[in-house]
A and B are shown apart, each in its own frame.
Chain A
Amino acid sequence: MEFHSPDSWREALEVKAAQPEAVAIFGGTDVMVDLNFDRERPGAVLDLTRVPELGEWGEGDGRLRVGAGVTYTRIISELGSELPGLAMASRTVGSPQIRNRGTVGGNLGTASPAGDALPPLYVSDAEVELASTNGTRRVPVVEFITGPKRNAMRPDELIAAFHIPRAEGPQQYAKIGTRNAMVIAVCAFGLALRPERKRVGACLGSAAPTPVRAREAEEFIESVLDWDSRGEIGDTELRRFGELVGEAASPISDVRGTAAYRTHAVGVLARRTLGWAWDEYRRGE
Chain B
Amino acid sequence: MMIEQTEPATPTRERPDAPVTTPGKVGEHTERADGVPKVKGEFEYSSDLWMDGMLWGATLRSPHPHANIWSIDTAEAEEMPGVQAVLTHEDVPGRKVYGMEVPDQPVLAWERVRYQGEAVAIVAADHPETARRALEKISVQYEVLDPLTDPEEAMKEDAPRLHLSGNVLKRINILHGDVAEASASADVVVSGEYEVGMQDQAFLGPESGLAVPDGQGGVDLYISTQWLHLDRDQVADSLGLDPEQVRLTLSGVGGAFGGREDLSMQIHACLLALETGRPVKMAYNREESFFGHVHRHPAKMRYEHGATRDGELLYVKARLVFDGGAYASSSIAVCTNAATFACGPYEVPNARIESHMLYTNNPPCGAMRGFGAVQVCFAHEAQMDKLANELGMDPLELRIKNAVRPGIRFPFGQEVPPPAPVRVILERVGDMPLPEEEEVMGRDLRRLPGGVSNVTHGEGVRRGVGYAVGYKNIGFSAGFDDYSTARVTLSIEEGEPLVRIHTAAAEVGQGLITVEAQIARTELGVERVAVLQADTRVGSAGSTSASRQTYMTGAAVKQACEQVRARIFQKVREEYADEDLAIEDGDIVSGGESVVSLAELLGGEEIEETVEFHHRETEPLDERGQGNAHLQFAFAAHRAVVEVDTELGLVRVVEVATAQDVGKAMNPQALEGQIEGGIAQGLGLALLEEIQIKEGKIQNASFTDYLIPTILDMPSVRAEILELADPEAPYGLKGAGEPPTIASTPAIVAALRDATGRELARVPVKPEQIVGIAEKPPSEPPQPGSRGYSGIGHLDEREEH
B-binding residues in A (CB < 8 A)? 36-38, 88, 91-92, 95, 172-184, 186, 253, 255-261, 263-265, 268-269, 272, 276
Contacts and interface: CB of A to CB of B under 8 A. Distances in A.
A170 to B, nearest CB: 13
10 contacts: A174-B453, A176-B453, A179-B707, A180-B450, A180-B451, A180-B710, A258-B773, A260-B776, A269-B455, A276-B457
Contacts of B774: 258, 260
Contacts of B692: 255
B454 A268 contact: no
Contact of B705 (A88, A256, A268): A256
A91 B648 contact: no
B648 A176 contact: yes
Contacts of A173: 454
A257 B767 contact: yes
Contact of B453 (A177, A257, A261, A263): A177
Given A37-B287, A172-B454, A178 B775 contact: no
Nearest to A184: B704
Interface string B775-801: 111100000000000000000000001
A264 B455 contact: no
A223 B648 CA distance: 28
A276 B702 CA distance: 36
B647 interface: yes
Contact of B709 (A88, A179, A255, A272): A179
Contacts of A276: 457
A2 B713 CA distance: 41
A134 to B, nearest CB: 36
Contacts of B777: 260, 263-264
B713 A258 contact: no
Given A258-B773, A272-B455, A176 B450 contact: yes
Nearest to B647: A268
B710 A272 contact: no
A259 to B, nearest CB: 7
B801 A253 contact: yes
Interface string B268-285: 000000000000000001
A177 B285 contact: no
A255 B454 contact: no
B456 interface: yes
Interface of B: 132, 285, 287, 446, 449-457, 459-460, 647-650, 652, 687-688, 692, 699-700, 702, 704-705, 707, 709-713, 766-768, 771, 773-778, 801
A101 to B, nearest CB: 16
A88 B707 CA distance: 23
Contacts of A172: 454
B455 A174 contact: yes
A178 B457 contact: no
B650 A178 contact: yes
Contacts of A175: 450, 453-455
Given A255-B692, A268-B647, A181 B775 contact: no
A227 to B, nearest CB: 23
A95 B699 CA distance: 24
Contact of B450 (A36, A177, A255): A177
B446 to A, nearest CB: 8
Contacts of B773: 258, 260-261, 264
Contacts of B705: 184, 255-256
A37 B767 CA distance: 29
Contacts of A176: 450, 453, 455, 648, 650, 767
B767 A255 contact: no
A35 B561 CA distance: 52
A88 B768 contact: no
Contacts of A265: 648-649, 767
A256 B801 CA distance: 12
Contacts of A183: 453, 707
A264 to B, nearest CB: 6
B688 A261 contact: no
* 10 closest A-B pairs by CB: A180-B451, A181-B712, A175-B453, A174-B454, A181-B710, A255-B700, A180-B712, A179-B707, A261-B768, A92-B453
Contacts of B647: 268
A194 B391 CA distance: 57
A127 to B, nearest CB: 26
Contacts of B450: 174-177, 180
Contacts of A257: 766-768
B132 A181 contact: no
B453 A180 contact: yes
A272 B453 CA distance: 13
A272 B459 contact: yes
Given A179-B707, A260-B776, 19 more contacts: A37-B287, A92-B453, A174-B453, A174-B454, A176-B648, A176-B650, A177-B453, A178-B650, A180-B446, A180-B449, A180-B450, A180-B652, A255-B692, A256-B705, A257-B766, A258-B773, A261-B771, A264-B777, A272-B456
A256 B773 CA distance: 14
Interface-centre pick from B459, B460, B688, B767 (highest chain A CB count, 10 A): B767
Interface-centre pick from B453, B704, B710, B773 (highest chain A CB count, 10 A): B453
Contacts of B768: 257-258, 260-261
A65 to B, nearest CB: 27
A182 B713 CA distance: 10
Interface-centre pick from B287, B455, B773 (highest chain A CB count, 10 A): B455
Contacts of A178: 650, 687-688, 707, 766-767
Contacts of B704: 184
A72 to B, nearest CB: 12
A253 B707 contact: no
Given A178-B767, A268-B647, A258 B451 contact: no
Nearest to A36: B285
B765 to A, nearest CB: 10
A197 B702 CA distance: 46
Contacts of A92: 452-454
Nearest to B285: A36
Contacts of A182: 710
Nearest to B699: A255
Contacts of B771: 261, 264
A264 B456 contact: no
Nearest to B456: A272
A181 B455 contact: no
A265 B707 CA distance: 20
Contacts of A36: 285
A265 B449 CA distance: 14
B365 to A, nearest CB: 19
Contacts of A261: 649, 767-768, 771, 773
A252 B709 CA distance: 25
Nearest to A41: B129
A253 B768 CA distance: 12
A236 B95 CA distance: 72
